[in-house]
Structure 1
Amino acid sequence: MGERVALVTGAASGIGAAIVRELSGRGWTTVGLDLAPADGADHCVGVDVSDPAQVGAAIGRIRRELGPIEAALCAAGHYAIVPVSDIAWEEWRRMLRVHLGGIVNVCKNVTPEMAERGRGAVVAVAAETAIGGGEAAAHYAAAKGAVIGFVRSLAAELAPAGVRVNAVAPGPTDTPLLPPDSPWRRPSYLQTLPAGRLTAPAEVALAAAYLAEDATFCAGEILSPNSGTVI
């Protein structure tokens, strides 16, 4: 097959950085798309994933310089704990632009060529709050829920062409998105989890890499590495 190129958004930190490390260890050539430098990736392009023009230009450049993109893994996002009555309209829109819009912008640019070649994989990072809800995070849960709906719809559309579209939906994960005073880090919360701890970014990366590489039978699936938060 030759050199395998994987595009990873949100590659500078957290789950995205863990995905880069996992794929690099498996021999992939990794390209990070992020506003911050993605030092662990083989290549890095500074991009606001919510901007369709920036994403399109970046992917065109990657394709010219490195060749076809075999896998696109979309981990860019942000999180906030805010009661629904206090969420500003701009923050509702920003959540959707980054989480849903970022994935849509990537898919519009990579999946046509994947379908033409008859192979390829897209893996989106959703969240268990999209499945089970989350107190004081309605805008985040709604955006991630939209991601799941998009993934399942696109999977049905592209599976006949040999393109696999799936998602991981991790529970609270030990990344900088959860500050030290986060309620998800409190012992009282951790004791409610069957695993008794937060999910590790490397564990989410393993699930994402599995969907990108080995899960040739999966289309529209949602894997939930969540320490038992949602069973």
Structure 2
Amino acid sequence: MRSTDIETRRGTQVALVTGAASGIGAAVASRLNEPGWNVAGLDLRESDTELSLIADVSDPEAVHAAVERVKRELGAVSLLVTVAGHYEMYPVSEIGPERWRRMLSVHLGGTRNACIAVLPDMLAAAHGTIITISSELALGGGANDAHYAAAKGAVIGFTKSLAVEVASRGVRVNSVAPGPTDTPLLDPNSPWRAADFLASLPLRRLVTPEEVAATVLFLAEEGDFFCGQVLSPNAGAVI
């Protein structure tokens, strides 16, 4: 997108960020505030956004109601960033039906629910951008991450399919797949923080939430030539 186009549309567009209360979601919301987007945050907790909404992304009716409130108070959503999720590590033998269901319902279901809620207005306006948050683990896999990697891999499949479906109608859909990111989601004793793992990364460090947010902002404002793509800021974990 040309810089003049960006300046013209800043401050007039509404962004909805799920999972905006902390970590990557909070960084994305903060970064979008800098160029003047009107940002609504949807989370299980209060978020530091212009409009903070409390809802479980796995509940389609709650997500729809939240999007309708955004529309009433800020305007129709023209940018959706689906960050909401959770992370846990278990051997596959310990991933029972409930853990499997919850992981898929939050990541894949939450992404689907948010997209379905904002798409009617985007399609009516023939303009909109959706950026899903997947994971480097969806690209490379990981021990004790089967349900998480499966859910995030499904998000990538959903993203690519939706991109093909709506691109000709003015809506761009892409995904950002971060590597291990330095957020509270990673326990201090997480193997992703271990010295031997960090030494295996070409950049020798974790990605920061602000770097993931910068990738999102690029796709939202400048990367209008991207469609159905996956950008992976991962410090070289997957090349």
- TM-score normalized by the length of structure 1: 0.98
Report the counterpart of residue 216 of structure 1 in structure 2.
Answer: 224
Report the counterpart of residue 212 of structure 2 in structure 1.
Answer: 204
Distance in structure 2 (CA, Å) of the matches to 1:149 and 1:136? 21
Distance in structure 1 (CA, Å) of the matches to 2:155 and 2:227? 14
Moved over 2 A (4+): none
Distance in structure 1 (CA, Å) of the matches to 2:66 and 2:133? 20
Q: 1:25-44, aligned counterparts within 5 Å?
A: 25-39=34-48, 41-44=49-52
Distance in structure 2 (CA, Å) of the matches to 1:168 and 1:211? 9
Distance in structure 1 (CA, Å) of the matches to 2:196 and 2:35? 38
Report the counterpart of residue 4 of structure 2 in structure 1.
Answer: none
Q: Are residues 1:49 and 2:57 paired?
A: yes
List per-residue Cα deviations over 1:73-121 (Å, max 9, x = no partner): 0000000010000111101000000000111001111112111111110
Q: In structure 2, list runs of 5 or more residues that go unmatched.
A: 1-8
Q: Are residues 1:83 and 2:91 paired?
A: yes
1:42 deviates by: 1.1
Percent of aligned pairs with the same amino acid: 55
List per-residue Cα deviations over 1:45-72 (Å, max 9, x = no partner): 0010000010001101111121111100
Q: Secondary structure at the match of 1:113?
A: helix
Q: Secondary structure at the match of 1:76?
A: coil
Q: Secondary structure at the match of 2:77?
A: coil
Report the counterpart of residue 130 of structure 1 in structure 2.
Answer: 138
Q: 1:88-167, aligned counterparts within 5 Å?
A: 88-167=96-175
Report the counterpart of residue 177 of structure 2 in structure 1.
Answer: 169
1:182 deviates by: 0.2
Report the counterpart of residue 184 of structure 1 in structure 2.
Answer: 192
Distance in structure 1 (CA, Å) of the matches to 2:165 and 2:68? 23
1:213 deviates by: 1.4
Which residue, out of 12, 21, 38, partners 1:12? 21
Give the AA of the match of 1:85: S
Q: Secondary structure at the match of 1:191?
A: helix
Q: In structure 1, list runs of 5 or more residues that go unmatched.
A: none
1:212 deviates by: 1.4
Aligned-residue CA RMSD (Å): 0.8
Distance in structure 2 (CA, Å) of the matches to 1:66 and 1:203? 27
1:44 deviates by: 0.2
Distance in structure 2 (CA, Å) of the matches to 1:66 and 1:172? 33
Distance in structure 1 (CA, Å) of the matches to 2:164 and 2:120? 15
Give the AA of the match of 1:12: A
1:226 deviates by: 0.1
Q: Secondary structure at the match of 1:99?
A: helix
1:26 deviates by: 1.2
List per-residue Cα deviations over 1:13-62 (Å, max 9, x = no partner): 000000001000111111000001102x1110001000001000110111
